[in-house]
């Protein structure tokens, strides 16, 4: 740029030179200012070109004179040779036809009328069908040939010696323009300036500037531009634009802006294309402020922007955060009739979402879609993040479906958002499949995706998977952030890996002070592992380190203090919190204040009053603190005072339930006995929990003791009955449970519906040898005693009788249920379908199904599958198929069990086409076929005699990673054997090893059955002798071999094998016939 530090950048007042010429260092008057046009209409033209061409010239290159020539005022002389005219017309017609065939961009010159002298010159130049004359083409080739020679190895004067005085100025410009290398442009331009026909022209200098600018020779371009000024050639829009584009192309932005300032000072306004070049170059280097400055100058000069200009400027407005200017420019762009690009919409949508303007974001997206613009993955990511932020997950999933429909490729960010959304919706499997898809696509590279999926695993209790995922991230050398360490700590805590949790916590502490949530996780881990000493030390450490407490951490620390009876530490912590804002309007802290300081005898009168509207958790922890200090003085007095409060007995009962759930039987017993001692009976739920805990610990006598203690004063004895039945069941004392029932009913203490249901269910459980007689007796007694049985109880009765095989009794229970106006549930109808289906009364089963549907019940997959299964067993395949389709029409997505049931129905009927279609439909629905599905498909093919297709299914299983079993192969083997295709059976039997299987006993039976039925005696004997040492003794195999030996006349071998069977105690099958199917 220093080469241009002339009057072009620093103009002075104009003066007149001696010869009236224009001093190149002076500012030209406004009267001599070149017209603002991209073409060079005012340039002198010494030579008239004869040929016109349809090739469209580059706006930044020299005009080649192909503009149609205006009609002359004087008519042209006709050609003297009629034959020549005929030839010319024929050629013109041929080229016209050629242009039509090639389209509007055909590189075919247009023919025009010429004088005889022009025609002679045209033919001498060999211009027939060419753009330039032969001497121009020769010159172009001559100069281009120098590109392979080293610098200084040639003299352009010698090279171009034969062209001296043969090229006009315009032709030399053509040769100059057609050069590819900048050195050839430089050398030819130097030779060109020595020719007589040369005259300084901005056209030639513009060509040289363009050549230098394309290869980055900025200094040479500046020298040429200065030379142009010194030669008296005033730069126009094209020359100035070429120089600006050169600066922009090579990132010389400072020089570009200085040069542009000088151009503006001279009154030259570059065209829109040059502004676009400048704006784009500045934006690529993130110089957005300069982009906006040039834009404002462009608007001041009233240059009309185009689509590209608006796109670049809007992007810069967004990058610098000028939202109002961005949207105003966007509106102006729309008003001009330009359709914004997807990138423009994407930036504005992201800007709106960031500023919280959800409505504007959605409006922009709808506008984009109405224009038929397909959104990019960045746009979709912005919208998905916005949907996730506002909790509109349904629209987020709808957007993802739309992405798949339009073929938009999702990136890792989008997949991460979808995984997070699936986790929020509880779609754990979908989230896991999405993560696996990301991994298969090779997009897994960001720790955020790993931590997101790990959190989903944690939320669904898959701690091992979450930890494995974090370890996988570490092995992939992906740097862990502080958030990743927090998630990893949660994984170790959930898995109860104390050592790893402590290591992770130490690593987290190195990144900064630990957060309250991580401290809370560590404390909970210590408490869960019953490491109370470690928990106490950790609580002291975080208080010493002045970790900022939140409410959750406070509650956890207080749990530690209360559980360990640390009254002093609890008081100190509450005192410290009283000096902070946490104690303000905090019922938890206030409750502790009253309880701890009201425990002194002098303040005992204030102790009970605050508990009426106090924090329940605080009351529970206070009671825990009192229980932990069992031997403290005045405990019973404080405890009694606590029980007299409004919620005291309720909290104490809930604490017993909590101790029972934790399995802390000692504290539960102590608190229970303390309540009884003070004349307070715990709530039935607490007593029932203690009874169930005793049953779980196989302490049946203690359970019976608790029942005897509270039974007489119980308000709801039915709850205690349920707990006792549960205790008997857990101790596997079903007979004692039945006797307990008999004794209670004898005393007039009727069981409630829940206890009755539990008893019947326990007695009818097949896992414990099913005491169906006792269960039936309980059912009869319950029905006779006119208890207020509910729907659950009736369902239990019907199911128990179904398991016992008492189908008529089960049906009568259902009839009684209806007669008493007890509303059946979906489970009732489902069980009754099984009752009638097992009893082969399919019409009533279908009636039950129709009745459930007619009552407006939301039928589930289980109900549909149940009735479809029984229809299939009754060979009513068509009805089963229609019902299966009906289930899908109702919006119920079939699961793997439903698909397998329907596949088996088709397979039994031999409907292989339907089975194949169902198999494909199963895959389309995202339900992966399992081994049973493939087995049913093979059975369908074999039933339909489609053996080759069945064999392909086995190959398909291997490709899908499923292991075929002998059961799969035996189906085909049996089909071959039954059809008499012995050779095919032998071939397929030999392929067992290729599938990684060893033929089982059934495979060998099938082969021998085939040989036996079709009389292949020798093959049968050979097969038996080959397998006899490798298979266990089998009745059919040995009997078939004896028949083979006898048919072959080998009585000795037959007798020897018969003796062997006799010694093994295996009876001989005499009814086998060799060749029964021949």
**pLDDT at residue 639, as a whole number:** 64
**Same structural domain for residues 426 and 498?**
yes
Select, from the ranges 466-470, 778-782, 853-857, 878-882, the one with the highest average predicted confidence (pLDDT). Answer: 878-882
Q: Which residues contact 325 (CB under 8 A, 6 or more apart)?
A: 317
pLDDT value, residue 902 = 92
**At which of 646, 676, 696 does a domain end?**
646
Average the pLDDT over 864-884 and give the result. 90
* CB contact at 8 A, 54 and 109: yes
**Which tokens belong to 814?**
């259902």
What CATH number does residue 496 fall under?
1.25.40.10
pLDDT at 47 over 50: no
Asked if residues 935 and 968 have their Cβ atoms less than 8 Å apart, the reply is yes
CA angle at residue 740 from 736 to 745, to 5 degrees? 150
**Predicted confidence (pLDDT) per residue in 720-736, tens digit:** 888 888 888 888 888 88
The answer to whether residues 494 and 463 touch, using CB atoms and an 8 Å cutoff, is yes
How many domains, in total, are found in the chain? 3
Judge whether 85 lies within some domain.
no
Confidence at 1005, pLDDT banded by 50, 70, 90? very high
* pLDDT higher than 80, residue 53: no
How much is the pLDDT for 1035? 92
Let me know if residue 638 belongs to a domain: yes
Q: How far apart are CA 609 and CA 611, in angstroms?
A: 6
Instruction: Let me know whether 504 and 530 are in one domain.
Output: no
Task: Give the pLDDT band (50/70/90) at residue 706.
Answer: confident
Question: Stretch 376-397: mean pLDDT, rounded?
Answer: 80
Lowest mean pLDDT among 593-597, 602-606, 1049-1053: 602-606
Q: Are residues 568 and 595 located together in one domain of the fold?
A: yes
- Considering only 79-83, 222-226, 623-627, which range has the smallest mean pLDDT? 79-83
Q: Which two tokens stand for residue 635?
A: 């405990």
Alpha carbons 863 and 885: distance in angstroms, whole number: 14
Do 499 and 529 lie in one domain? The reply is no
Query: What pLDDT score does 8 carry?
Result: 57
Specify the pLDDT at position 40.
Answer: 39
Q: 497 with 534, same domain?
A: no
Measure the CA angle with vertex 392, ends 386 and 396; round to 5°. Answer: 70
Helices (H) and strands (E) in the chain, counts: 55, 0
* 632 within a domain of the structure (yes/no): yes
Find the angle CA(425)-CA(428)-CA(429) to the nearest 5 degrees.
130
Distance CA 309, CA 307 (A): 6
Which range among 418-427, 694-703, 713-722 shows the weakest confidence by mean pLDDT? 713-722
Whether 23 has a pLDDT exceeding 60, the answer reads no
Give one word for 472, left, alpha or beta, with left for phi > 0 and alpha for psi -120 to 50.
alpha
- Residues near 242 by Cβ (< 8 Å), separated by ≥ 6? 60, 206, 209, 210, 213
Task: Please tell me the pTM assigned to this model.
Answer: 0.48
d(CA 28, CA 232): 11
- Residue 643's pLDDT is 67
Nearest to residue 471, comparing CAs of 493, 492, 456?
492
**Residue 69's pLDDT is what?**
45
Cα distances (angstroms) measured from residue 474 to each of 412, 451, 488, 695: 18, 11, 11, 46
Nearest-CA neighbor of 577 among 555, 604, 595?
Answer: 555
Q: Can you tell me the distance from the alpha carbon of 672 to that of 829, in angstroms, rounded to the nearest whole number? A: 44
Residue 590 or residue 190, greater confidence? 190
Question: DSSP string of 30-43?
Answer: GGGPPPS-SS-TTS
The mean pLDDT value of the chain amounts to 80
Residues 287-301 have pLDDT tens digits of 888 888 889 988 888
State whether the Cα torsion 463-464-466-467 is positive or negative. Answer: positive
φ and ψ at residue 304, rounded to 5 degrees: -80, 115
Q: Which residue has the higher pLDDT, 786 or 393?
A: 393
CA distance readout (Å), 495 to 411, 492, 522: 32, 5, 12
Instruction: State residue 113's pLDDT score.
Output: 62
Instruction: Give the tens place of pLDDT for each residue, 550-583.
Output: 888 888 888 888 888 787 787 788 777 776 655 5
1016-1021 long-range contacts, Cβ below 8 Å, gap at least 24? Answer: 1016/982, 1017/1044, 1017/1047, 1017/1048, 1017/1074, 1018/1048, 1019/982, 1019/986, 1020/1044, 1021/1045, 1021/1048, 1021/1050
Contact residues for 92 (Cβ-Cβ < 8 A; gap 6+): 111
Q: What's the rounded Cα separation, in Å, for the pair 686 and 692?
A: 10
Q: Please give the pLDDT value at position 61.
A: 38
What is the Cβ-side half-sphere exposure of residue 152, based on CA atoms within 13 angstroms?
Answer: 0
The reply to whether 759 falls in a domain is no
Over residues 224-242, mean pLDDT: 88
In the three-class reduction of DSSP (H, G, I as helix; E, B as strand; rest coil), residue 52 is classed as strand
- E strand or H helix at 658, and its extent? helix 648-662
Residue 534, domain extent: 525-646
Provide the β-strand partners of residue 110.
52
For residues 752-764, give the mean pLDDT: 83
Which of the listed residues 625, 646, 667 is the one where a domain comes to its end?
646
Boundary (domain end) residue, out of 597, 612, 646? 646
Task: Identify the pLDDT of residue 46.
Answer: 38
Residue 52 bridge partners (DSSP): 110
Q: Show Cβ contacts of residue 709 under 8 Å, excluding neighbours closer than 6 positions.
A: 676
CA distance 622 to 570: 10
For the cut 70, the answer to whether the pLDDT of residue 65 exceeds it is no
Cα–Cα dist 492/522, whole Å: 10
Q: Per-residue confidence at 901, pLDDT binned at 50, 70, 90? A: very high
* The two three-digit tokens of residue 900, written as one number: 């397998």
Is residue 421 within 8 A of residue 430, CB to CB? The reply is no
318, 351 contact by CB (below 8 A): yes
632 or 14: which leads in pLDDT: 632
| Whole-Å CA distances, 374 to 346, 395, 399, 406 | 11, 17, 12, 7
Is the pLDDT at 1019 greater than 50, yes or no? yes
Question: How far is residue 347's CA from residue 316's CA, in Å, rounded to a whole number?
Answer: 10
pLDDT at 596: 64
Quick check: is 11 in a domain?
A: no
1052 in the same domain as 1010: yes
CA distance 507 to 485: 8
- pLDDT for residue 315: 87
Q: HSE, CB side, 13 Å, CA atoms: give it for residue 149.
A: 15
Residues 6 or more apart in contact with residue 413 via CB below 8 angstroms: 377, 381, 446
Say if 762 falls within a structural domain: no
Residue 437 confidence (pLDDT) above 50: yes
Within this chain, do residues 495 and 568 fall inside the same structural domain, yes or no?
Answer: no
Query: Does 461 map to a domain?
Result: yes
Confidence (pLDDT) at 54: 36
Q: Same domain for 503 and 604?
A: no
Same domain, 508 and 529: no
Tens-digit pLDDT profile for residues 120-134? 766 666 655 556 778
Distance, in Å, from the CA atom of 315 to the CA atom of 348, rounded to the nearest integer, reads 9
Phi, psi torsion values for 830, nearest 5 degrees? -65, -45
Length of the chain: 1078
- In this prediction, residue 60 carries a pLDDT of 37
What's the rounded mean pLDDT across residues 396-423?
82
**Nearest of 500, 494, 440 to residue 463 by alpha carbon:** 494
CA–centroid distance for 573 within its chain:
47
801 occurs within a structural domain:
no
- Amino acid 404: pLDDT: 80
Pick from 168-172, 546-550, 713-717, 826-830: least confident: 713-717
Q: Which two tokens stand for residue 767?
A: 């896992």
C-beta of residue 314 within 8 angstroms of C-beta of residue 329: yes
Strand partners, 254: none
Under DSSP, the state recorded for 26 is S
Residues 642 and 538 in one domain: yes
State the Cα–Cα distance between residues 366 and 364, nearest whole angstrom. 5
Q: Are residues 580 and 494 in the same domain?
A: no
Cα separation, 15 vs 321, in Å, equals: 49
Whether 649 has a pLDDT exceeding 60, the answer reads yes
826-838 vs 842-854: helix crossing angle, rounded to 10: 170
Quickly state the pLDDT bin for 1009 (edges 50, 70, 90). very high
Whole-angstrom Cα distance, residue 311 to residue 335? 14
Q: What is the DSSP string of 123-167?
A: HHTT-TT-SS-HHHHHHHHHHHGGGGSPTTS--HHHHTGGGTTTS
- Whole-number Å distance between alpha carbons of 471 and 173: 69
Q: Could you tell me if 129 and 95 are in contact, meaning their C-beta atoms sit under 8 angstroms apart?
A: yes
Round to whole Å and give the CA distance between 692 and 700: 9
pLDDT at 68: 47
Could you give the CA distance from residue 954 to residue 938 in angstroms, rounded to a whole number? 8
- Helix ranges (H only) for 789-895 are 791-804, 807-819, 826-838, 842-854, 861-873, 877-889
Same domain, 591 and 493: no
């Amino acid at each position: 740029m220093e080469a241009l530090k002339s009057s072009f950048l620093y103009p002075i007042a104009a003066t007149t030179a001696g010869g009236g010429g224009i001093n190149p260092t002076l500012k030209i008057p406004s009267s001599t200012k070149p017209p603002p046009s991209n073409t060079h209409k005012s340039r002198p033209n010494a030579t008239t070109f004869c040929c016109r061409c349809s090739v469209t010239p580059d706006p930044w290159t020299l005009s080649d004179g192909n503009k149609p020539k205006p009609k002359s005022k004087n008519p042209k002389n006709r050609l003297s040779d009629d034959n020549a005219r005929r030839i010319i017309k024929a050629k013109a017609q041929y080229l016209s036809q050629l242009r039509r065939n090639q389209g509007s961009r055909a590189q075919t010159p247009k023919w025009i009328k010429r004088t005889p002298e022009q025609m002679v010159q045209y033919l001498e130049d060999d211009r027939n069908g060419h753009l330039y004359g032969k001497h121009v083409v020769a010159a172009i080739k001559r100069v281009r040939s120098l590109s392979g020679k080293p610098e200084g190895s040639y003299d352009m004067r010698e090279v171009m010696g034969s062209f001296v005085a043969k090229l006009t100025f315009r032709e030399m410009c053509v040769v100059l323009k057609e050069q590819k290398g900048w050195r050839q442009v430089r050398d030819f331009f130097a030779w060109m300036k020595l020719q007589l026909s040369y005259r300084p022209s901005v056209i030639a200098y513009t060509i040289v500037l363009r050549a230098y600018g394309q290869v980055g020779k900025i200094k040479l371009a500046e020298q040429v531009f200065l030379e142009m000024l010194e030669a008296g050639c005033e730069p126009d829009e094209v020359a100035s634009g070429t120089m600006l584009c050169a600066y922009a192309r090579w990132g010389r932005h400072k020089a570009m802006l200085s040069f542009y300032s000088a151009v503006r000072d001279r009154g030259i306004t570059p065209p829109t294309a040059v502004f676009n070049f400048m704006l784009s170059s500045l934006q690529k280097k993130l110089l957005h402020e300069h982009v906006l400055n040039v834009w404002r100058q462009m608007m001041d000069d009233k240059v009309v922007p185009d689509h590209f200009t608006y796109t670049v400027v809007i992007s810069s407005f967004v990058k610098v955060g000028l939202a109002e200017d961005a949207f105003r420019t966007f509106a102006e762009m729309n008003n001009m009739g330009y359709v914004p690009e997807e990138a423009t919409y994407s930036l504005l949508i992201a800007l709106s979402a960031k500023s919280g303007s959800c409505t504007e974001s959605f409006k922009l997206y709808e506008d984009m879609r109405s224009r038929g613009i397909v959104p990019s993955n960045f746009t979709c990511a912005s919208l998905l993040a916005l949907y996730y932020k506002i909790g509109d997950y349904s629209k987020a999933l709808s957007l993802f479906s739309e992405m798949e429909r339009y073929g938009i490729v999702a990136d890792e960010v989008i997949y991460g958002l979808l995984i997070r959304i699936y986790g929020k919706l509880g779609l754990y499997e979908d989230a896991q499949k999405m993560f696996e898809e990301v991994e298969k696509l090779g997009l897994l590279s960001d720790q955020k995706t790993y931590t997101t999926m790990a959190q989903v695993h944690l939320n669904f209790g898959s701690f091992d998977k979450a930890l494995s995922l974090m370890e996988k991230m570490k092995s992939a050398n992906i740097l862990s952030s502080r958030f990743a360490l927090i998630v990893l700590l949660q994984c170790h805590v959930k898995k109860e890996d104390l050592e790893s949790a402590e290591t992770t916590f130490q690593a987290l502490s190195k990144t900064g002070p630990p957060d309250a949530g991580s401290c809370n996780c560590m404390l909970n881990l210590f408490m869960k592992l019953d490491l109370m000493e470690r928990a106490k030390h950790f609580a002291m450490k975080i208080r010493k380190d002045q970790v900022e407490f939140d409410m959750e951490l406070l509650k956890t620390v207080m749990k530690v203090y209360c559980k360990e009876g640390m009254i002093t530490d609890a008081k100190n912590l509450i005192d410290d919190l009283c000096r902070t804002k946490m104690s303000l309007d905090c019922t938890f802290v206030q409750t502790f204040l009253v309880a701890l300081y009201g425990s002194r005898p002098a303040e005992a009168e204030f102790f009970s009053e605050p508990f009426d509207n106090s924090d329940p958790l605080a009351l529970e922890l206070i009671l825990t603190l009192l229980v932990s200090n069992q031997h403290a003085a005045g405990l019973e007095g404080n405890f009694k005072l606590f029980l007299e409060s409004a919620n005291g007995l309720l909290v104490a009962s809930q604490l017993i339930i909590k101790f029972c759930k934790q399995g802390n039987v000692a504290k539960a017993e102590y608190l229970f006995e303390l309540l009884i001692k003070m004349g307070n009976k715990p709530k039935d739920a607490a007593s029932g929990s203690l009874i169930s805990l005793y049953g779980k610990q196989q302490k049946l006598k203690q359970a019976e003791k608790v029942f005897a203690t509270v039974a007489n004063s119980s308000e709801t004895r039915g709850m205690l009955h349920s707990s006792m039945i549960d205790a008997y069941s857990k101790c596997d004392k079903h007979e004692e449970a039945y006797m307990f029932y008999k004794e209670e009913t004898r005393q007039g203490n009727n069981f409630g519906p829940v206890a009755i249901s539990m008893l019947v269910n326990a007695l009818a459980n097949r896992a414990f040898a099913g005491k169906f007689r006792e269960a039936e007796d309980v059912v009869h007694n319950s029905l006779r005693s006119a208890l207020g049985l509910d729907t659950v109880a009736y369902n239990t009765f019907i199911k128990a009788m179904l398991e016992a095989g008492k189908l008529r009794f089960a049906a009568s229970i259902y009839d009684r249920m209806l007669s008493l106006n007890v509303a059946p549930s979906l489970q009732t109808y489902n069980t009754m379908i099984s009752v009638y289906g097992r009893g082969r009364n399919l019409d009533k089963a279908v009636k039950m199904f129709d009745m459930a549907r007619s009552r407006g019940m939301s039928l589930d997959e289980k109900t549909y599958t149940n009735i479809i299964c029984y229809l299939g067993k009754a060979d009513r395949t068509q009805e089963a198929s229609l019902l299966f389709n009906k289930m899908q029409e109702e919006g119920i997505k079939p699961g793997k069990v439903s698909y397998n049931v329907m596949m088996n129905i088709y397979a039994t009927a031999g409907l292989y086409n339907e089975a194949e279609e169902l198999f494909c439909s199963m895959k389309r629905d995202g339900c992966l076929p399992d081994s049973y599905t493939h087995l049913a498909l093979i059975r369908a093919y074999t039933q339909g005699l489609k053996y080759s297709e069945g064999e392909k299914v086995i190959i398909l299983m291997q490709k899908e990673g499923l292991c075929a079993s002998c059961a799969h192969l035996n189906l085909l083997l049996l089909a071959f054997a039954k059809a008499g295709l012995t050779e095919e059976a032998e071939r397929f039997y030999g392929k067992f090893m290729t599938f990684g299987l060893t033929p089982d006993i059934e495979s060998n039976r099938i082969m021998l059955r085939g040989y036996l039925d079709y009389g292949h005696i020798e093959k049968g004997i050979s097969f038996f002798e080959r397998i006899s040492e490798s298979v266990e003794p089998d009745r059919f195999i040995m009997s078939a071999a004896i028949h083979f030996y006898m048919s072959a006349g080998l009585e000795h071998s037959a007798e020897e094998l018969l003796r062997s069977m006799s010694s093994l105690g295996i009876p001989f099958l005499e009814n086998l016939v060799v060749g029964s199917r021949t």
